[in-house]
């Protein structure tokens, strides 16, 4: 649920993969490199960008053998997530994430609050179309409370 907020840099997806960019379609295409001792977990990844260059939809593809029909061989399974963004003080924040994995769907909506100049999530709504909505308030937001400024000079 917090992955869109706390995610690794998108460039890290390219490790052990060949990268192409389709300028016309505004898509980044990643394919697993061949000949690796240990192949990456995904055979390919497609990142569709919106007009602001932000990820609008990411699709991860991996090869699996259907345990109910192993004779069929490997099939390609897609996991995807689409994103909506908003700009606050000149910075982009994910406000909605809609993920889908083999029939399992999860939607998360995010609201933010500015605390001492830092934007933090203040509420998350987790929406499961089959089981309903969980509203998760994030309360008592604090930034650098009780930490001496000298602690930050050590880094």
Would you say 28 and 44 are in contact if contact means Cβ atoms under 8 Å apart? no
Would you say 111 and 84 are in contact if contact means Cβ atoms under 8 Å apart? no
Round the average pLDDT of the chain to a whole number and report it. 86
The pLDDT of residue 96 is 95
**Which pLDDT band holds residue 83 (cuts at 50, 70, 90)?**
very high
Residues of the chain with pLDDT > 90, as a percent, come to 46
Give the number of domains in the chain. Answer: 1
Q: Which two tokens stand for residue 46?
A: 């497609």
CA 33 to CA 24: how far, in whole Å? 24
State mean pLDDT over 21-35. Answer: 93
The pLDDT of residue 7 is 57
**Which pLDDT band holds residue 40 (cuts at 50, 70, 90)?**
confident
State mean pLDDT over 46-64. Answer: 93
**Which pLDDT band holds residue 101 (cuts at 50, 70, 90)?**
confident
DSSP 71: G
Q: Which two tokens stand for residue 37?
A: 């001792």
Q: Which two tokens stand for residue 39?
A: 């192949």
CB atoms within 10 A of CB 112: 19
Main-chain dihedrals φ then ψ at residue 105, nearest 5 degrees: -125, 140
Q: The domain containing residue 72 runs over which residues? A: 3-153
**Which pLDDT band holds residue 95 (cuts at 50, 70, 90)?**
very high
């Amino acid at each position: 649920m917090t992955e869109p907020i706390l995610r690794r840099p998108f460039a890290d997806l390219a490790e052990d993969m060949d990268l192409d960019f389709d300028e016309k379609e505004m898509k980044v295409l990643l394919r697993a490199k061949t000949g690796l001792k240990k192949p990456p977990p995904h055979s390919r990844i497609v990142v569709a960008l919106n007009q602001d260059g932000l990820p609008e939809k990411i699709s991860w593809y991996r090869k699996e053998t259907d345990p109910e029909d192993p004779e069929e061989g490997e099939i390609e399974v897609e996991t995807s997530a689409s994103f909506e963004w908003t700009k606050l003080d000149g910075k982009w924040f994910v406000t909605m994430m809609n993920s889908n994995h083999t029939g399992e769907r999860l939607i998360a909506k995010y609201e933010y609050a500015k605390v001492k100049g830092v934007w933090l999530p203040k509420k998350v709504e987790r929406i499961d179309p089959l089981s309903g909505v969980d509203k998760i308030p994030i309360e008592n937001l604090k930034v650098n409370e009780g930490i001496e400024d000298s602690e930050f000079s050590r880094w």
